[in-house]
Amino acid sequence: MLPGGIYNETYGQEMAILRTPFRWALLIALLVLAIVLPMLASAYVLAFLCYVGVFVIAVMGLNILSGYAHQVSLGHAGFVVVGAYATAFLSTRLEWPFWVTVPCAGLIAALVALVFGTPSLRIKGFYLAMSTLAAHFIISWGVMRLPWLPVGTYSVPVAIPSLGGIPLTSDRHYYYLLLVYVVVMALFARNLMRTQIGRALLALRDNDIVAQAMGINVFRYKLIAFGLAGFYAGVSGALWGYWVGVVSLEQFSFWESVWYLAMVIVGGMGTTLGPFFGTLFIRLLMELSLNFGGWMLGAFPSVGGHIVGGLSFMANGLALVLFLIFQPRGLAHAWDIIKTRAMIWPFSYEARRGGGDAM
Amino acid sequence: MFFQLLVAGVALGGLYSLLAMSIVLIYKGTAVLSIVHGQFVVFGGFILWAFLSLLGLPLSVGLPLTCAVIATMGFLLQRLALQPLIGQPFFAPVMVTIGLFGFLHGVLLLTFGPRSERLDLVPEVVASLGRVSVSSSQVLGLAATALVWALLIVFFRYHRMGLAMRAVAQGHHIAQSTGIPVKRVFSVTWAVSAAIASLAGVLIASFQGLDIVIDFWGLKVMAVVLFGGLESIPGVVVGGIALGLFETLAAGYVDPLIGVGASDIAPYVAMLLILIVRPHGIMGLRRIERV
């Protein structure tokens, strides 16, 4: 929503991502804050932010696929797994440098996503979701049996990343690296929605039969959406692998796929800020439930250790359900409402329904 | 060996069919595809185990009590989480069931923890017919499936609530306009379906042992639901047996080639194949989409 007195008089103004100088200033302030944050934050918070940063990229990819193009995918963790294992292979077996393996892992994951996106030619909606579900399990199963893995294990080490000969070993270094990746990929995703591809994906979302009738090659754009989601997932998996140092299958169960989708929905499907809000919210919930579970374990030792894991599942599941019932458009929409209310107070937000940023 | 695998496959298929029946029941009655039934399965098994082992109740009391508890669970789920979403597009309730799947997994971890137990409903007796051996739990599974199927057929043809469910399945608005309380029918449908799922869970537990990973059966059985067409109960009987055979034959013949584990992936491979070849299943209705 535009502030009072500002109108779009040219096409460039209408398509601008940052329309007013105020928004530019806000973004720059946010970036400055992000850069300064590691100097103020504790190690725990820094690790948390790194975790969120790695996940945000994957969620951005799923946002393109499921948020903008509405091809609901229950198998996103499978693509992340591909990226992570590809990184492990490329960095340890072939010993490629960091700045090559990450994009390559993304490309490999994108290829796998394309393969598992081909059913979208014939099926859609719930059926496609089921095929992505099957894809997740098949990918996980296949990864366990890769020929180059040592028999009996599926936990693979990843080499230490280094840029220009400087090894990145501390969380602080990694945070800045992640910041660059996150900003670049978020900008790319946002900008994508302004292009022909983005418009085609939105047309797909609204009504794919009509889109086909208008001449948009539906299958091609569905594949593009899958490929992009796979690329983002692969990059995320690669960055995860480098950060943790070891990739193993337990890190990417089916539940991760569910939580990725939950992050997209809770954050806001098909919005730029959605992945950020969603990832932060769900990860925060998981941290809180882990801490609460740990406290409860200390206070009531008779309860078993599984209470900790159980609580995070309950919190996430409950969050997803509650958001679907009460705020299906997610936190990004709630944020929009807050901004609009602030702008046009004392008038009611409802009077503005129908306006606002469609993307 | 082939006939042994055949018997095992049919027995497994019976269990798949039973669970798939409950999911198809929900879809027929409420147009919601439920992912959460896997949790009814595993909760059914664990609650019966708790009744039998921890409380020492006899089976004749424990089993109906378990079904009642899970039926209440299903009823509450529908009332609290799905009723607010009536009228929303198809995917919203499905996502809610996925969220509930996660939530109930957490509850399961909290209450029972990651343990595996044994659940013996009948004394384990293995009979041999020639080179093939059949165990009592396999027979029990098949008998229970057949019984539930017969009961469902009778229920839907003659009982008032069954007829009401069919009416609601054909058209919510028209059913409401003839005076059928559609929301109540939804709740009852969920309760009945959850009870059937808990029965399937009990049988699975006696067949394979009780473990918290049983809740993934709810995902595996989607292959059966898709195979039969989302709305056909005879279809899922055929589909269940087909999947059971596919899985056991895969385990028997493919395992020696690639190492253990073909049966883990078989349901998902079957799912993918069905979706690629014939998404609306063998007896399902092909939806014609109009703009």
ipTM, 2 dp:
0.89
| Structure confidence at residue A305 (pLDDT) | 64
What integer is the mean pLDDT of A305-314? 80
* DSSP-assigned beta bridge partners for residue B135: B126
DSSP lists the bridge partners of residue A199 as: none
Q: Could you tell me which chain B residue has the CA closest to the CA of A121?
A: B276
Best residue in A70, A312, A314 to probe B by mutation, most B CBs within 10 Å? A314
Chain A CB contacts of B277 under 8 Å are: none
pLDDT-derived band at B221 (thresholds 50, 70, 90) equals very high
- pLDDT on residue A359: 47
- Residue A109 and residue A228: Cα distance in Å, rounded? 9
Concatenating the DSSP letter of every residue in A88-128 gives: HIIIIIS---HHHHHHHHHHHHHHHHHHHHGGGGT--THHH
Mean pLDDT over B192-221 rounds to 88
Distances in whole angstroms, Cα of residue B147 to Cα of each of A278, B195, B199: 46, 14, 12
Higher pLDDT, B60 or B226: B226
Mean pLDDT, all residues of chain B: 85
* Residue B121 token pair: 């409903």
Closest by Cα among A191, A186, A177 to A46: A177
Q: Report the pLDDT averaged over residues B21-42.
A: 89
Assess A115–B contact: CB distance below 8 Å, yes or no. no
From A137, A168, A25, select the one nearest B265 (Cα to Cα): A137
Compute the CA torsion angle A299, A302, A308, A309 (nearest 10 deg): 180
What is the pTM assigned to this prediction? 0.90
Q: Does A121 touch chain B (CB under 8 A)?
A: no
Q: Do B106 and A125 touch (CB under 8 A)?
A: no
Q: Are A115 and A269 in contact (CB under 8 A)?
A: no
For an interface test with A, give the residue of B265, B278, B286, B290 to mutate (most A CBs within 10 A): B265
Q: Which of residues 177-236 of B touch A (CB under 8 A)?
A: 216, 219, 222-223, 226
Residue B102 to residue A209, Cβ atoms within 8 A: no
Query: A204 to chain B nearest CA, in Å?
Result: 13
Q: From the CA of B91, how many Å to the nearest CA of chain A?
A: 7
* B132 vs A: CB within 8 A: no
Neighbours of B163 (CB within 10 A): 14
Partner residue opposite A321 with nearest CB, options B103, B109, B271: B103
Amino acid identity, position B265: I
pLDDT of residue B87: 76
Q: What is the pLDDT of residues B246-266, one digit of tens each?
A: 988 888 887 777 766 777 888
B64 preceded by cis ω (within 30°)?
Answer: no
Q: Which of A130, A145, A309 sits opposite B109 (nearest CB)?
A: A309
What the block records as the tokens of B63 is: 């089993």
Residue A183 pLDDT more than 90?
yes
Q: Which tokens sit at A44?
A: 């725990």
Chain centre distance of CA A228: 12
- For the segment B104-139, what is each residue's pLDDT rounded down to a tens digit? 999 988 888 777 777 776 666 777 777 777 777 788
Interface A:B, Cβ pairs < 8 A? 134
Nearest to B230 by CA among B278, B277, B161, B171: B278
Chain segment A2-53, per-residue pLDDT in tens? 777 888 889 888 888 888 888 899 999 999 999 998 888 888 888 899 999 9
CA distance A26 to A333: 19
User: Per the structure block, which two tokens stand in for A292?
Assistant: 């609460």
Indicate whether A271 pLDDT > 80.
yes
What tens digit of pLDDT does each residue of A202-258 get? 998 888 889 999 999 999 999 999 999 999 999 999 999 888 877 888 788 899 999
The answer, for B114 touching chain A at a CB cutoff of 8 Å, is yes
- How far B130 CA sits from the closest chain A CA (Å)? 36
Share of chain B above pLDDT 90, in %: 25
Is the pLDDT confidence value at A357 over 60?
A: no
Residue A144: pLDDT band (50, 70, 90) is: confident
Among A45-54, A81-90, A345-354, B52-61, where is mean pLDDT lowest?
A345-354
Q: How many CB atoms lie within 10 A of CB A311?
A: 24
Four-residue CA torsion sign, A145, A150, A155, A160: negative
Residues B62-71 have pLDDT tens digits of 888 999 999 9
Give A262's pLDDT tier (boundaries 50, 70, 90).
very high
CA dist A199 → A8, A19, A126, A264, B168 (Å): 20, 20, 23, 20, 39
Better pLDDT: A290 or B287:
A290
Tell me the C-alpha to C-alpha distance, in Å, between residue A165 and each of A71, A160, B68.
41, 11, 66
Q: Å from B20 to nearest chain A CA?
A: 15
Residue B122 is predicted with a pLDDT of 66
| A319 neighbourhood in chain B, CB within 8 Å | 99
Nearest to A317 among B106, B113, B222 (CB): B106
Report the C-alpha gap between B215 and B218 in whole angstroms: 6
User: Using H for helix, E for strand and C for coil, what is the string for A8-27?
Assistant: CCCHHHHHCCCCCHHHHHHH
pLDDT at A354: 52
Q: Is the pLDDT of residue B281 over 60?
A: yes
Check residue A154 and give its pLDDT: 58
Q: Which two tokens stand for residue A128?
A: 């496609």
List, as one string, the DSSP characters of A281-335. Answer: HHHHHHHHHHHHHHHHHHH-TTS-THHHHHHHHHHHHHHHHHHHHH-TTHHHHHH
- Does residue A165 carry a pLDDT above 60? yes
- C-alpha closest to that of B39 among B203, B199, B215, B195: B215
What would the mean pLDDT of B180-196 be, rounded to a whole number?
Answer: 92
Return the exposure string of B136-159: e unless at least 16 CB atoms fall within 10 Å of the residue's CB, then b: bbbbbbbebbeebbeebeebbeee
Q: What is the DSSP string of B47-104?
A: HHHIIIIIS---HHHHHHHHHHHHHHHHHHHIIIIIGGGTTS-THHHHHHHHHHHHHH
Q: How far is B45 from chain A (nearest CA, A)?
A: 18
pLDDT digits (tens, 9 = 90+) for A110-128: 999 999 998 888 888 888 9
